[in-house]
Amino acid sequence: MSFRDLHKPGDPFILANAWDAGSARMLARLGADAIATSSAAHAFTLGRPDGGTVTRDEALAHATDLVAAVDVPVSGDFENGFGHSPEDCAETVRLSAETGLAGISIEDAAFPDDAAYPREEAIERIRAAAAAARALPRDFVLVARADGVMNGHYDIDEAIARIQGYDEAGADCLYVPLPKTMDDLKRIIAASSKPVNVLVAGPYANHSRDFYAAIGAARLSLGSALARVTHKAILDAGHAMFDAGDFSPLKNGVPGSEIDKLLG
């Protein structure tokens, strides 16, 4: 099944965000139909905080590694498209396709801070990216993100106006990370016939795949949530070891033989 065909409203697939070749391969072997990069999780591997700290060249090289590691489609979390202009977004689409990525997401946060681009500017950026995607010699799924609700820069009505503009501009999938309420999420899903991605993190991790299927979601991504679970294990074990000389958290590790089977 193609990456595009996985996007079925009412039958969502889990887009498993990985942070290196090993985590990507493990997730694929465990049953992930597709893998994605995570800008935050990738930044963590480089010893950097999240939020515009990874360059386009670094993101492309990272994506190339994940594409080579697995036999399932890989999508790129490519922040604001690594530039402010519509042509920057279009060039990022073209370069992403060259790595073998099946698609990317582009958000409306204007790094180095997370202030939102004005709506019409954000729409034109997606229009240029969509035109570049359609000009490619193979299929490519463009996801348009409205991040201002999550970042505190606009409300749900503005988010819906934006994703409807992204829809008209040619986006293939729409995404408003972490709306404030479940009713808001339902409004987002109802705002377009295009597939909608839901970020399963924070309070949204309290609901099942069946729940998201029932409200019409098409894709469930993890963002950096799984990477943060891994980092919590490091944090908890580190506090135990360095604060109390307690090594007992190390007993909870997965046997190496199980990891070897997944990576072999």
State how far the Cα of 144 lies from the Cα of 107, in Å rounded to an integer: 6
State how far the Cα of 236 lies from the Cα of 257, in Å rounded to an integer: 24
* Domain at 111, CATH number: 3.20.20.60
Reported as a pLDDT band with limits 50, 70 and 90, residue 177 is very high
Who's near 207: CB < 8 A, 6+ residues apart? 200
**Residue 157 belongs to a domain:** yes
**Residue 34 belongs to a domain:** yes
State how far the Cα of 79 lies from the Cα of 107, in Å rounded to an integer: 6
Q: Residue 51 pLDDT more than 90?
A: no
What share of the chain in percent tops pLDDT 70? 100
Q: Residue 1 pLDDT more than 90?
A: no
State how far the Cα of 47 lies from the Cα of 208, in Å rounded to an integer: 32
**Residue 181 belongs to a domain:** yes
The residue-averaged pLDDT of 244-257 equals 95
DSSP 141-166: EEEEE--HHHHTSS-HHHHHHHHHHH
CA dihedral 37, 171, 198, 154 (to 10 degrees): 110
Q: Residue 16 pLDDT more than 90?
A: yes
Would you state the structure tokens that stand for residue 208, as one six-digit string?
A: 């099942």
**Residue 26 belongs to a domain:** yes
Q: What is the predicted pLDDT for the residue at 18?
A: 98
DSSP 91-128: HHHHHHHHHT-SEEEE-SB-TTS-PBPPHHHHHHHHHH
**Residue 243 belongs to a domain:** no
**Residue 116 belongs to a domain:** yes
State how far the Cα of 84 lies from the Cα of 155, in Å rounded to an integer: 22
User: Based on the structure, what is the number of domains in the chain?
Assistant: 1
With vertex at residue 46, the alpha carbon angle to CA 96 and CA 68, rounded to the nearest 5 degrees, is 40
The residue-averaged pLDDT of 133-153 equals 98
**Residue 250 belongs to a domain:** no
Which residue has 């949530």 as its token pair?
A: 225
Q: Residue 264 pLDDT more than 90?
A: no
Domain that holds residue 113: 3-226
Spatial contact of 174 and 197, defined as CB atoms under 8 Å apart? yes
Model confidence pLDDT, tens digit, residues 145-164: 999 999 999 999 999 999 99
Model confidence pLDDT, tens digit, residues 196-248: 999 999 999 999 999 999 999 999 999 999 999 999 999 999 999 999 999 99
**Residue 245 belongs to a domain:** no
Spatial contact of 149 and 156, defined as CB atoms under 8 Å apart? yes
Reported as a pLDDT band with limits 50, 70 and 90, residue 52 is confident
What share of the chain in percent tops pLDDT 90? 97
Q: Residue 169 pLDDT more than 90?
A: yes
Q: What is the predicted pLDDT for the residue at 106?
A: 98
